Amino acid sequence: MLSTLEKILFLKQIELFREFNARELGIIAQKAVEKSFSRGDVIFRQGEQGDSLYLVVGGKVRVVREDGQKKETLAILEERTCFGEMAILSEEVRSATIEALETLTLLKIDREEFRQLILKKPEMAFPIFRILIERLRNTNNLYMKALEGRK
């Protein structure tokens, strides 16, 4: 179990939180809940209602997009990355399934808690925008490669 200090030190390593001071990181650390998963566990499924952001403390996850019987891996995320960022900005359903590739430790931050932080520090939203843009570019690249493969 991570102490509040360990959570603060970890959060400081995450792009999303690099600009935060120790007091702000302390608030986030106190609200972040540590979760553990085993290899093969599903953290959440595509289509479920999203309500949290997750930070990978240890282990790896696979981001999977399901279309009927077909499953496509969109990304493998490792330590010091986050997922579920769309759920903290909107109330849309999850766009992908997240599976643990190995023993996994996550920090979970609730949407409402995070929104309160953004209201206090609006510039916090910009790193989220950068992450979303990067992931959209990666998805577009995968889509273009798939189209090329059909020719």
* Assigned domain for 145 exists: yes
Q: Which residues contact 20 (CB under 8 A, 6 or more apart)?
A: 11, 12, 28, 121, 124
The conformation of residue 16, written as its DSSP 8-state character, comes to G
CA atoms within 13 A on the CB side of 78: 0
Q: Which residue has the higher pLDDT, 128 or 27?
A: 27
pLDDT, one tens digit per residue, over 10-40 is 999 988 787 778 888 898 899 899 999 999 9
Is 3 inside a domain boundary?
Answer: no
In a domain, 27, yes or no: no
* Burial environment of residue 104 by CB neighbours within 10 A (0 to 12, 13 to 18, 19 or more): buried
Residue 24 inside a domain? The answer is: no
pLDDT of residue 15: 80
Q: Flag whether 26 is in a domain.
A: no
Say if residues 74 and 96 touch (Cβ distance below 8 Å).
yes
Mean pLDDT, rounded, for 45-55: 93
CA 47 to chain centroid: 16
In a domain? residue 122: yes
Is 118 among the domain residues? yes
Average pLDDT of span 1-5: 93
At residue 107's C-alpha, the angle toward residues 59 and 74, to 5°, is: 55
* Within-domain flag for 5: no
Number of domains in the chain: 1
Is it the case that residue 151 has pLDDT exceeding 80? no
pLDDT tens figures, 87-118: 877 888 999 999 999 999 999 999 888 888 88
Range of the domain at 60: 34-150
CATH number of the domain encompassing residue 146: 2.60.120.10
